[in-house]
Amino acid sequence: MALVTWNENLSVGVRSVDDQHTVLFNLINELHAAMMKGQARSIVGGLLKDLLAYTRNHFTAEEELMDSKQYPDLSNHKMLHRELTKQVEEYIARYEKGDLTVSTRLADFLSDWLTNHIQKVDLAYGPWLNQHGVR
């Protein structure tokens, strides 16, 4: 069973961003599935690194898109992205030190954060980008 499920209510109205968000949801679900199967040591470490790398790339793409259209709340959005990245890096560091319980807490944290971030923060920039020709 999926930990998080993408649905159209989470769409920001920008196809490229929505596609990236669905990839993030899939990565979180892969992480959760690996943990549920007891594959923590064999799979989770790689998934955590993949998730962090993809998240960084997504944040960069999202910020560049907002910057290109002079989104007025970009600086706040960047700050939120940096905070999330730092928190994920801290979870990974703890995992690499042998704390296997981190992966469960990280999956819950990421699913909550991603869903809340999309619903409360990302949905705000969708209309701005749409008004400036981005679909």
Residue type, 96: E
For the chain, the structural domain boundaries read: 13-131
Fold of the 13-131 domain: Four Helix Bundle (Hemerythrin (Met), subunit A) (1.20.120)
Q: In the structure encoding, which two tokens stand for residue 129, read together? A: 């980008």
Of the segments 28-32, 62-66, 118-122, which one has the largest average pLDDT value? Answer: 62-66
Non-local (6+) Cβ contacts of 125 within 8 A are 12, 66, 71, 73, 77
Q: How confident is the model at residue 41 (pLDDT cuts 50, 70, 90)?
A: low
Mean pLDDT of the chain: 89
Over residues 64-73, the pLDDT tens digits come to: 999 999 999 9
Q: Check residue 135 and give its pLDDT.
A: 94
**89: helix, coil or strand?**
helix
Q: Check residue 14 and give its pLDDT.
A: 96
Scan for tokens 């990236």, then name that residue. 20
